[in-house]
Copies of this chain bind each other. A is one copy, B any other.
Amino acid sequence: MENFTFHNPTRIVFGKGVTTQLGKEVFAYGNRVLLMYGKGSIKKHGIYQQVIDSLRQNGIQWIDYEGIKPNPSLHQVRSAISICREERLDAVIAVGGGSVVDAAKAVAAGACYDGDVWDGYLKKVSWSDSLPLFVVLTISATGSEMNPASVITNDETMTKASFYSPGSYPKVSFLDPSFQVSLPTQQTIYGAMDMMAHILEAYFNGVPNTDVQDYFAEGLMKTILIHLDRVLDQPENYESRAQLVWSGTLALNGLNAAGRGLGDWSSHRIGHALSACYDFPHGMTLAMIMPAWMRYVYKHDIPKFARFAREVFGFSGKEKELASNGIHAFQEWIKKLGFPTSLTDLGVRVDTLADLARNPSIPYPLGKLKELGPEDVESIFRLTNY
């Protein structure tokens, strides 16, 4: 196990009906806020009404910022920052999934920074200051509701980048699983894929002697496998939604990574290049890249890949076969969920793969389990055509 610091100050308020507590929590920090959300599905499902009822009851005024896109753009973030500055707002509320939360984190930090917010993504600055951020989660996937990371896309340079800044933990996140019972099937699946990928980026990173972390990761993965199945069968099953919601938050709140170093993150970064160039959904890029990455690197840690097969899929057998069978089972799970599995089927031409592997979204040298260069990433792209 490696030395680590763990500190996660976000307060989680979890369960049916908890959004009624939003206004009271926000009021401790001010009474003029920016209310950010996506394309408005929260209005159809009564979530928006619950949010503004709670704000009104606590005398909080808000300015709506509607229309945050999946893979949120730097352009939108900058315009929302301008509103915070001009209106001297006290806090930011994100109502949505990871895209809205990530954009809101950027806005909250950017509003307290004199320069351009993209500086944070270029690692020119690490923010300790931010407007207080509150989250009402409507899609479980990114874990952004309990971590200080943000990923956005620079729509001028077509690059996707992230920051991870101690000042950017949400103050309070409200997780009501009943908000997710009406989620489209595809978003539920993409979310589960994202959670699995987060867990695996830390799980497969070559640091030995991490039993307690490994059991934790395997427990999260087993929970996701079991309860995603139930939710696909019964979308309104509150208890299984609750298991997915809490698993998604725990998958990337720092606990799974504590003691493992920083994780590998190759698949995410390769996926970011695909999202930046083709606007593919994040979950879809992970579904395509992660099994290919596994097949490319697994020989560098066969015991861990064998453990994955044993503990998550219940397989037994010899180490090397196990390692390979676990990856196969993971691929089959992804295929069964209906993800596209081939880059060429999605219209990505083979003659562009060399350029794609050199997209600035990919910071080389990449990876921890095995260090990868652009040629390795090209090989991984080719392995997606399975």
Contact = CB atoms under 8 A, between A and B. Distances in A.
Contacts of A247: 212
Contacts of A223: 211-212, 215
B9 A14 contact: no
Contacts of A13: 5
A1 interface: yes
A209 interface: yes
A222 B211 CA distance: 9
Interface stretch (A82-90, A238-246, A278-286): A238-246
A8 interface: yes
B3 A209 contact: no
A258 B215 contact: no
Interface string A254-291: 01001100000000000000000000000000000000
Contact of A246 (B12, B218, B250, B259): B259
Interface string A200-242: 0000000011011011101110110011000000000001001
A301 to B, nearest CB: 17
A11 B4 CA distance: 11
A299 interface: no
A215 B212 contact: no
Given A14-B258, A16-B3, A243 B8 contact: no
B8 A15 contact: no
Nearest to A17: B3
Interface in A124-151: none
Interface in A11-57: 11-18
Contacts of A16: 3
A222 B11 CA distance: 29
Contact of A219 (B1, B218, B250): B218
Contact of A3 (B6, B11, B18, B214): B18
Question: Most chain-B CB neighbours within 10 Å: which of A12, A18, A215, A242?
Answer: A215
A5 B1 contact: no
B7 A246 contact: no
A14 B5 CA distance: 6
Nearest to A1: B242
Contact of A243 (B212, B220, B226, B243): B212
Interface in A347-384: none
| CB-based closest 10 A-B pairs | A215-B219, A3-B15, A7-B11, A209-B239, A212-B223, A6-B12, A1-B242, A211-B223, A9-B9, A212-B247
Given A7-B12, A208-B239, 9 more contacts: A1-B243, A3-B16, A6-B14, A12-B258, A211-B243, A212-B219, A212-B220, A219-B219, A255-B255
Interface of A: 1-18, 208-209, 211-212, 214-216, 218-220, 222-223, 226-227, 239, 242-243, 246-247, 250, 255, 258-259
18 contacts: A1-B15, A1-B246, A2-B15, A3-B14, A3-B15, A3-B17, A3-B18, A5-B13, A6-B12, A7-B10, A7-B12, A12-B258, A209-B239, A211-B223, A212-B219, A214-B219, A215-B220, A250-B255
